[in-house]
Amino acid sequence: MLKKQKVKNLKQEKTGKMRKLIFLLVFLCGLSSLAQVSFTAEASRSKLGINERLKVQFKVDANGDNFRPPSFNGLSLIGGPSQSFSEQYINGKSSFQKSYTYFFQPEKRGKITIGQAEITVEGQVYKTSPIEIEVTAAVDQPNQSRAVAEAGSGIHLVAEVSKSNPYVNEGIYVVYKLFLSPTVNIRNWRPLDDPKFEGFWSQNIDIERLELKEGEFGGQPYRYVELRKTVLYPQKTGELKIEPLSISVSVEVPTDKRDFFGRRLYDIVEKNYSAKTRTIDVKPLPIAGKPDDFSGAVGEFEFKVKTNKNELDAQTSLELTTEVKGRGNLKLFNLPKIQTPSSFEVYEPERKENVRTSSLGMRGSLSETYTVIPEFKGDYVVQPNTFTYFNPRTETYETLKSEPIAIKVNSDPERPAESQVASSDRDDANRNVISSKNNFNYIKLNTDLKPKDQSRFFQSPVYWTLFFLPFLSIPFMLIFGKVKSRETDQTQIQLKRANKLAKRYLSEAKKNIGDSKMFYESLERALHNYMKARLKIQTLDMQKDKIRELLMSKGVSSETISEFLEILKSCEFARYTPTVTADMQKDYQRAAKVISEIDKEVK
């Protein structure tokens, strides 16, 4: 029995040692798996000329978050950062790599140190080693043969002006053209800064559809597209500056990588372009020959005065219309006033503008219609009017004159016959009769009769105060209502903007269903841009932890947050793995649903 007990104890001891050994092996394997995470920094050159380009890549072989780039003192960013993912399965083993790519132009000679970048993988922070770069003097033949190093060369933004030496109020236009070399492909563009046209009256011309045209730049064949057109009318003389338009362009640049079939892979690089400032020398209008009635019209015009009646009864109305037609600064001058007989009662005119604006300037008509009432019977003549304008084509002032208009006024059928006796005693039948409107001024119509020594409430100060008090309170009520609804209106505007962004990118993703990479790129952009608009989050803060924290602070449920982050994770992996159309359709519907849920829950 004692021997059997010893054997049993030995077996238990061996079993305990085996368990400890297995536990130790598992623990060591876990440590080795953690140590296998690699996060490195690579530069395309360790020594380069100041006129050469530098490519810097940060690579990690695990799916990390919270990437923090180092400072790049002494280097000017010309492209990036762009992200890329790759995942491979070889002999049942998977490999993953995520990279962040930058393109730089050196700013000065000497040694430059690129510091440490940081990234977080499963709660552990990893850092790269610093990189030393030496920048020398400019080389005769810079190494810029690769399209990656060029990072968007062959693109030019140009501002073309139709006339650089116009007169004041003479119409010109500026068109912004983006020239592209045949070897350059762009994805899209967006404006960074709109130009201001100080000293000009300006109006943008709508371009319904951007059309790619053939042309030349620097004597070489180029393609170009007209991005924007603006009509300008200078309002003062001397040198006026047309500020540049600045845009950001997403450019496709080839990389050193190739796909399974040997085709070169491309990265998307953001690059900014600005048109040069243009200076316009505006000439004053000539003093010699300038008529006194000139009102500032510049262009080529026609002028006429017309009426809708040539015969009518006294005390009835007719319409007199002055009209200018043609091409020029139609909205920037006043029409001449009509000259009528003194016995005509004339009311303020109604102004009408029928003007369309194109790259050739304003064209159309401008009119003013007067309502006129003759007071007495007789034959009258509306004397001709003159209209003067400056013609920049002939560089002279030109005066147009309307035709005289004869108007016959019959007796008023409702007036007693004896009221017209005075007209028979006139010495001249064609003389206008001017009615005296001051004959009865001695009669006091407004009296202030009241009993002596007796106060009254009607029309007293208290009466008028109480009478106007409700009306005076209306503006304060309106202001109070606007203040109360301002926050609600702002929220509604932000919701509409977020929905518009999400719908636009979701629409793009829907069109790409069937192409895994394009679909998930569009879907990821939709979710990111929605977060930017809804939570005012910046691109560098677009990490899952930051998004989770912000959504929770806005009152979004944990289920909705998890669903949103799960879709983002799917986008990161699905772009580089085979995905069937049914999965894309499902992810599209999930994205639309989760955006709707966030809109409902965000407070």
β-bridge mates for residue 258, sequence order: 264
Of residues 141, 137, 160, 157, the one with CA closest to residue 149:
141
User: What structural domains and CATH numbers belong to the chain?
Assistant: 39-144 (2.60.40.740), 155-282 (2.60.40), 299-415 (2.60.40.740), 486-601 (1.20.120)
Binned at pLDDT 50, 70 and 90, residue 469 comes out as confident
Peptide bond into 341 cis (omega under 30): no
pLDDT digits (tens, 9 = 90+) for 330-384: 988 989 999 888 889 999 899 999 999 887 889 999 999 999 999 889 999 999 9
Which pLDDT score, from 0 to 100, does residue 524 have? 80
Arithmetic mean of pLDDT over the chain:
77
Assess whether pLDDT exceeds 60 at residue 159: yes
Of residues 221, 232, 136, the one with CA closest to residue 176:
232
What mean pLDDT comes out for the span 455-469?
74
Rounded to whole angstroms, how far apart are CA atoms 333 and 349?
15
Q: Note the pTM of the prediction, 2 decimals.
A: 0.46
Binned at pLDDT 50, 70 and 90, residue 126 comes out as confident
Please report how the helices 516-535 and 544-553 are oriented relative to each other, as an axis angle in degrees rounded to 10: 40
Rounded to whole angstroms, how far apart are CA atoms 274 and 246?
4
Which pLDDT score, from 0 to 100, does residue 430 have? 39
Of residues 328, 428, 412, the one with CA closest to residue 377:
412
pLDDT digits (tens, 9 = 90+) for 566-593: 888 777 776 556 566 667 788 888 888 8
Which pLDDT score, from 0 to 100, does residue 426 have? 38
Of residues 129, 157, 303, the one with CA closest to residue 226:
157
Q: Do the Cβ atoms of 398 and 386 come closer than 8 Å?
A: no
Which pLDDT score, from 0 to 100, does residue 579 have? 61
